[in-house]
């Protein structure tokens, strides 16, 4: 896959353990070097800033700044994370407005399904089921976006292929101008 014309935004949301990071990396690897950027909420919030996820947190602004700069440089930009609707919807809407194309995806899994997926991850011992219970939000639709919803029946490969197909299909149409 080669870079697409103009900045494209891909947002992948869902609960901890749902597969967002795995999917984001797999989509990124389908592009050539330096054509696609992944802006991971956990990386910005926990690794770069070492802050808790809270309303008005600096991570929200920093995610937006990084994503905007990646799009300004023509990168397909994937923003992935739990991205709680109450805290992140405003930022995601601003990013969607700034992008030529914006595609939104969310995982809708039960708490038990996220636990089962989490158990297969290399970092499974880094946090407990109780931690995950505290982070679990369930499906949280964004008020401004038509999100594609993935349930437990979707394999990682199927999700990656769907996003890839959507990017190609969307690329064949005229990019939408930013709304004022």
CATH architecture for the domain at 8-171: 3-Layer(aba) Sandwich (3.40)
In what side-by-side order are the strands of the sheet with 36-40?
36-40, 76-81, 8-13, 101-107, 148-150
Reading the chain (180 residues) residue by residue, the pLDDT tens digits are: 444 556 799 999 999 888 999 999 999 999 988 999 999 999 999 999 999 888 999 999 999 999 999 999 999 999 999 999 999 999 999 999 999 899 999 999 888 888 777 666 777 677 777 877 777 888 899 999 999 999 999 999 999 999 999 998 855 443 343 344
The predicted model scores a pTM of 0.87
């Amino acid at each position: 896959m080669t870079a697409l014309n103009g900045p494209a935004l891909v947002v992948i949301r869902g609960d901890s353990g749902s597969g967002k990071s795995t999917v984001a990396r797999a989509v990124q690897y389908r592009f050539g070097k330096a054509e696609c950027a992944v802006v991971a909420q956990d990386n910005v919030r926990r690794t770069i800033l070492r802050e808790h996820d809270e309303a008005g947190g600096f991570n929200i602004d920093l995610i937006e700044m990084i994503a905007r700069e990646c799009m300004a440089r023509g990168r397909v930009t994937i923003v992935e994370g739990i991205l709680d609707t109450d805290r992140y919807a405003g930022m995601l809407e601003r990013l969607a407005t700034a992008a030529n194309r914006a595609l939104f995806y969310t995982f809708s899994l039960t708490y038990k399904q996220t636990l089962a997926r989490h158990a297969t991850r290399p970092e499974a011992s880094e946090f407990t089921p109780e931690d995950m219970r505290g982070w679990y939000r369930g499906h949280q639709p964004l008020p401004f976006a038509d999100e594609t919803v993935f349930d437990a029946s979707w394999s990682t490969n199927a999700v990656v292929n769907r996003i890839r197909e959507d990017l190609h299909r969307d690329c064949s149409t005229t990019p939408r101008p930013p709304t004022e």
